[in-house]
Amino acid sequence: EEQVVESGGGLVQPGGSLRLSCAASGFTFSSYIMNWVRQAPGKGLEWVSAISGSAKSTYYADSVKGRFTISRDNSKTTVSLQMNNLRAEDTAIYYCAKDRAVTRSPFDIWGQGTLVTVSS
């Protein structure tokens, strides 16, 4: 069964840092683009970042560019999101999501999410 499981969320002060992790299983991890999507409380979905299967290409939403860094370890089938200089508006549930296919595709597998709260 294909699945992804996020971890690493928590409460952090404004300006602080947090590292989220996503452990994948049940599929050929290195073949797929992996993504982070967030959802602020009571709000819609916001795509945050993506990383190619080889890790050679990374992509970011303008709202996090320069503050967040996505990475992956294909030997451990994990993808991470390093979040620095956090702001109150970064408070959200962060979902890890797998591309449906090895070419351009939407997200077919989502984790349960991990909550990040940025507050003093």
Partner 1 sequence: DIQMTQSPSSLSASVGDRVTITCRASQGISNYLAWYQQKPGKVPKLLIYAASTLQSGVPSRFSGSGSGTDFTLTISSLQPEDVATYYCQKYDSAPRTFGQGTKVEIK
CA 18 to chain centre: 12
Least distance to partner 1, CB of residue 61, Å? 5
Asked if residue 94 binds partner 1 (CB under 8 A), the reply is no
Asked if residue 30 binds partner 1 (CB under 8 A), the reply is no
How many whole angstroms separate alpha carbon 43 and alpha carbon 12? 20
What is the DSSP-derived secondary structure letter of residue 66?
T
Token pair recorded at residue 56: 């050679």
Asked if residue 9 binds partner 1 (CB under 8 A), the reply is no
**For 89, phi and psi rounded to 5 degrees?**
-75, -5
Token pair recorded at residue 49: 């970042």
Segment interacting with partner 1 (CB under 8 A) among 8-16, 57-65, 66-74, 81-89? 57-65
How many whole angstroms separate alpha carbon 93 and alpha carbon 55? 24
Interacting residue with partner 1 among 92, 95, 114, 118 (CB under 8 A)? 95
Q: How many residues does the chain have?
A: 120
Asked if residue 45 binds partner 1 (CB under 8 A), the reply is yes
The 59-78 contact track toward partner 1, x by CB under 8 A, reads: xxxx----------------
How many whole angstroms separate alpha carbon 108 and alpha carbon 120? 36
Segment interacting with partner 1 (CB under 8 A) among 9-17, 24-32, 70-78, 100-108? 100-108
Site residues (vs partner 1, CB under 8 A): 35, 37, 44-47, 50, 59-62, 95, 100, 104-108, 110-113
